[in-house]
């Protein structure tokens, strides 16, 4: 059964995640130890004792979710389920690159820690008298209609960030631009405009300085050619080489996540099952808008993994 592992990104975290996996698996325990040693952070304490507010901070979230994602993948393999391909949403793409052999375990945690630190620093520098930058989910508009509405209105500092589903797009912007965007997009037909609890305007040109700084980190990291298919948020297509993987990681910082196009590519490539290897069920929910014939199963707890 051709199976793709899907790895969630920032926003899926919750306090106590992964404890059941850690208690059940020596392999997961070893993964926690490896992560903690590579970045000098007590990951067991962060995941099991960290508060919701602490886990929400970008510099903490990125290492926590990456460890949780890879722990789920490790447990799935221990239960006999291997992936034939991998894809990840935003931060989750780094877990997918590990799953595909493009990044090593000892490389990925320092890499995502640097990514989180840089993004957090740059986002704080964007705070203004109107408030911090952020993101909002727009429900009920197509991607094309949203792009047209923003272009016609000429709002400065507001960008499409995540193409989540045919009727859900997330925008990133400055505080002032997000306020302007609500009125414009509701007039264009949006049913809901929901401000998100995030600490940065992810996947937008507002993080250009983070892209520049993180590029230097990526060029010091060893990438490898994919050993199995892995897919890109930036293009929605398969990644073909180590150099392309590195280049797309750089671009991903400021580019729209084309998740719908990525999901459509997975269907075209013949996967007959997807498994959400990580916390929550966000990607499982989004998948329902793409395919009725290809199921997506959550696998973020020991019970869910055992039930597959």
Tokens of 17: 């995640």
Q: What is the mean pLDDT of residues 75-99?
A: 98
Q: What is the mean pLDDT of residues 190-219?
A: 94
Claim to verify: residue 173 and residue 149 sit in the same structural domain: yes
pLDDT of residue 203: 97
Claim to verify: residue 92 and residue 145 sit in the same structural domain: no
User: At which of 195, 223, 243 does a domain end?
Assistant: 195
Claim to verify: residue 97 and residue 211 sit in the same structural domain: yes
DSSP string for 117-138: HHHHHHHHHT-BTTB--EEEEE
Domain that holds residue 234: 3-125+205-307
**143 within some domain:** yes
pLDDT of residue 197: 78
How many structural domains is the chain composed of? 2
**273 within some domain:** yes
**163 within some domain:** yes
pLDDT of residue 70: 98
**240 within some domain:** yes
pLDDT of residue 43: 97
Which CA distances in Å does 207 have to 4, 58, 134, 234, 306? 30, 13, 11, 15, 40
Q: Indicate the burial class of 156 (C-beta count within 10 angstroms; 0-12, 13-18, 19 or more).
A: exposed
| Least-confidence region, from 158-162, 199-203, 234-238, 283-287 | 199-203
Claim to verify: residue 48 and residue 150 sit in the same structural domain: no
CA–CA dist 160, 295 (Å, integer): 28
CATH code at position 272: 3.40.366.10
In the predicted structure, residue 128 carries a pLDDT above the cut 80: no
Claim to verify: residue 174 and residue 43 sit in the same structural domain: no
User: 131: pLDDT confidence band, cut at 50, 70 and 90?
Assistant: confident
Catalytic residues: 90, 203
Q: Which runs of consecutive H residues, i.e. helices, occur in the chain?
A: 19-24, 26-39, 43-49, 52-56, 58-78, 92-99, 105-125, 143-153, 175-187, 208-218, 242-252, 259-268, 282-287, 302-307
Closest CA to 242 of 266, 218, 213, 258: 218
In the predicted structure, residue 199 carries a pLDDT above the cut 80: no
Q: What is the mean pLDDT of residues 279-286?
A: 96
CA–CA dist 172, 201 (Å, integer): 5
pLDDT tens profile 17-66: 999 999 999 999 999 999 999 999 999 999 999 999 899 888 899 999 99
Q: At 193, is the secondary structure helix, strand, or coil?
A: strand
């Amino acid at each position: 059964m051709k199976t793709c592992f899907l790895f969630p990104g920032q926003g899926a975290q919750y306090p106590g995640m992964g404890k059941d996996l850690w208690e059940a698996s020596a392999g997961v325990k070893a993964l926690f130890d490896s992560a903690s040693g590579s970045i000098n952070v007590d990951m067991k304490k962060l995941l099991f004792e960290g508060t919701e507010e602490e886990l929400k901070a970008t510099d903490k979230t990125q290492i926590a979710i990456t460890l949780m994602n890879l722990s789920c993948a490790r447990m799935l393999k221990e239960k006999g389920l291997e992936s034939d391909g991998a894809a990840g949403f935003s931060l989750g793409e780094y877990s997918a690159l590990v799953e595909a052999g493009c990044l090593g375990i000892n490389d990925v945690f320092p890499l995502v820690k640097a990514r989180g630190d840089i993004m957090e620093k740059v986002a704080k520098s964007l705070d203004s008298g109107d408030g911090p930058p952020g993101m909002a989910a727009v429900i009920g508009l197509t991607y094309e209609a949203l792009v047209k509405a923003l272009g016609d209105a000429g709002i400065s500092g507001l960008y499409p960030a995540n193409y989540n589903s045919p009727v859900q797009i997330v925008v990133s912007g400055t505080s002032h631009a997000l306020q302007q965007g609500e009125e414009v997009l509701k007039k264009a037909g949006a049913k809901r405009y929901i401000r998100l609890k995030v600490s940065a305007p992810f996947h937008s040109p507002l993080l250009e300085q983070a892209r520049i700084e993180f590029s230097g980190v990526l060029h010091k990291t060893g990438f490898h050619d994919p050993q199995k298919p892995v897919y890109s948020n930036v293009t929605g297509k398969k990644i073909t080489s180590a150099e392309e993987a590195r280049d797309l990681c750089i671009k991903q910082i400021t580019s729209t996540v084309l998740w719908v196009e990525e999901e459509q590519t997975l269907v075209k490539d013949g996967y007959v099952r997807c498994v959400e290897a990580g916390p929550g069920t966000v990607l499982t929910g989004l998948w329902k808008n793409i395919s009725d014939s290809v199921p997506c199963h959550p696998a973020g707890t020991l019970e869910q993994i055992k039930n597959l």
